[in-house]
Structure 1
Amino acid sequence: MDIAQRLQVVHERLRAAEHRFGRDPGSVKLLAVSKTQPVSAIRAALAAGQHAFGENYLQEALDKQQALADTPAEWHFIGALQSNKTRDVAGHFDWCHTVDRLKIARRLSQQRPEERPPLNVCIQVNISGEASKAGVLPAGAAELAAQVAELPRLRLRGLMALPAPAEGLAAQRRPLAALRELQEHLVSSGLALDTLSMGMSGDLEAAVAEGATLVRIGTAIFGPRQTTPANGKENKR
């Protein structure tokens, strides 16, 4: 199958999950994870109607943005975010999903160009408590969210998580349910949040069942990833 056909299959899977779990049709948006994929693959996805793309590696993403400046692509940074990356993320992306500490959020706010709208951000939550994963622990999410929401050049949209892999729908749903409940708590405290960024190819149905509004899908759209970024340069994480 080509990229257009794979995109159609993913959309059909999304719509089936929405129907199965009583979600409104079209309520779950698709973020195409294009890390390590060439510009030609992104152009093919754009031609098939996909417009939001997620990138993990900063320099690779900047090269792609330059090559695709003639397109309406919307760029989401979904990689590990360190202090030395914030200026480029603030200047060149529409979204950042991986804010996990106040220092990073403050830098993004300070460095967001005035001529651009506020940067859409999600707080990354280490919902499974894995030592190897980035993200604020659930107990600290409310305080961080309240602080981020006050920053002038950011728009806090919601939460993001990368749960530990699990087998079976019920096991996959548990950490995603915890993230949804955390977001519901934040909304009840007065934060205007509308985004739950969770779910990938292996747990898409569980994510839709638990309220995801945006799922991040890569391999099912583009095929197997290359082992190095598309620009041939490794990015320090």
Structure 2
Amino acid sequence: MSNTTNFILGDYLAFAQARLADALAAAGRQTGDARLLAVSKTKPAALIREAWELGQRDFGENYVQEALAKQAELGDLEGIVWHFIGPLQSNKSREVAEHFAWVHSVDREKIARRLNEQRPAGLGPLDICLQVNISAEPSKSGIMLEDLPRLAEAVLAMPALRLRGLMAIPAPTEEPSAQREPFAHLRQALEMLQKRFPDAPLDTLSMGMSADLEAAVAEGATLVRLGTAIFGKREAASR
């Protein structure tokens, strides 16, 4: 391990944790109401190991083959939790079902059914977030809000999946009030689902990144996906 690298990563991670704590306090929420999801795509396994040694446990990956290689190298790390957060293609669903604890990017029933069928029974249910195209951008993945109840109902009927909540990546903006608006809509959508399906374990809002952490936490984020704020600038991905 490089002491210099560890010192830099330690500073970055501590600063990210402090930002989260300050945002929770400003929103009148309790410490522990939200946690950091370290987005480790394109970062080497050695950096993930260092972050784990510093206490980070949740890691998000976008590319299946890259993630599988890291998981093989880091198989000795106890308590590490792997989240798949990228667009999911049908031909990669089995590998995701077999090697991840969470999937944040389910946006259609076909993918959900494949994950449900391919999840090994010995691993227990796969935690799922439905990705919502909260800003209605034509180029973005995600289900539209009006279609959300139907997809949620379908996923809740799949025994190998556990629907935990919603995920979104809003259109970027630097204005704090404009940042909060789509997050508020996602929170309201989750509250609607909680009322409609009161027995479901709907407790998760995966929203907010390095540029809008505070706005997301103010609107109820429980998982905040930080990449550059923890690991620094990304390099070209190896898929």
For 2:61, give the aligned amino acid.
E
**2:229 corresponds to which residue?**
220
- Correspondence 1:164 to 2:184: no
Q: Deviations over 1:53-94 (max 9, x none)?
A: 000010000000000000022100001101101000000000
3-state SS of 1:133 partner: coil
Q: Residue 127 of structure 2: SS of its match in structure 1?
A: strand
Q: 1:181, CA displacement in angstroms?
A: 0.4
Matched, 1:97 2:143: no
- Matched residue, 2:34: 28
> Would you identify which runs of 4 or more consecutive aligned residues in structure 1 move more than 2 Å?
none
Query: Hey, what's the Cα distance between the residues in 1 that align with 2:163 and 2:129?
Result: 6
Q: Which amino acid aligns with 1:28?
A: A
Q: State the distance in 2 between where 1:145 and 1:228 align.
A: 32
Paired position in structure 2 for 1:152:
159
Query: Runs of 5+ in structure 1 lacking a partner?
Result: 230-234
Separation in 2 of the partners of 1:96 and 1:83? 13
Q: What corresponds to 1:178 in structure 2?
A: 185
Indicate which of 13, 16, 25 corresponds to 2:22: 16
Structure 1 length-normalised TM: 0.95
- Per-residue CA deviations over 1:97-126 (Å, capped at 9, x if unaligned) read 000000100000000001111000100000
Q: Counterpart in 2 of 1:232? A: none
How far apart in 1 are the matches of 2:24 and 2:52? 24
Identity of matched residues, %: 56
Whole-angstrom distance in 2 between the partners of 1:74 and 1:19: 26
Alignment check: 8 A CA contact 2:156 2:162 kept: yes
- The answer to whether the aligner puts 1:51 opposite 2:57 as a matched pair is yes
CA drift of 1:192 comes to 3.1
Q: Which residue of the partner structure matches residue 2 of structure 1?
A: 8
Runs of at least 5 residues in structure 2 that lack an aligned partner in the other structure: 1-6
Matched residue, 2:150: 143
Q: Secondary structure at the match of 2:154?
A: helix
Work out the CA distance in 2 between the residues paired with 1:221 and 1:64.
18
Deviation of 1:24 after TM superposition, in Å, equals 1.0
Q: Counterpart of 1:108?
A: 115
**Corresponding residue for residue 75 of structure 2:** 69
The one-letter code sitting in structure 2 at the alignment partner of 1:182 is A
SS at match of 1:134: coil
Residues 162 and 201, structure 2, Cα contact 8 Å, conserved in 1: no
In structure 2, how many angstroms separate the alpha carbons of the residues matched to 1:228 and 1:88? Answer: 19
Instruction: Give 3-state SS (helix, strand or coil) of 2:83's partner.
Output: strand
**TM-score, normalisation: structure 2:** 0.95
The equivalent of 1:189 in structure 2 is: 196
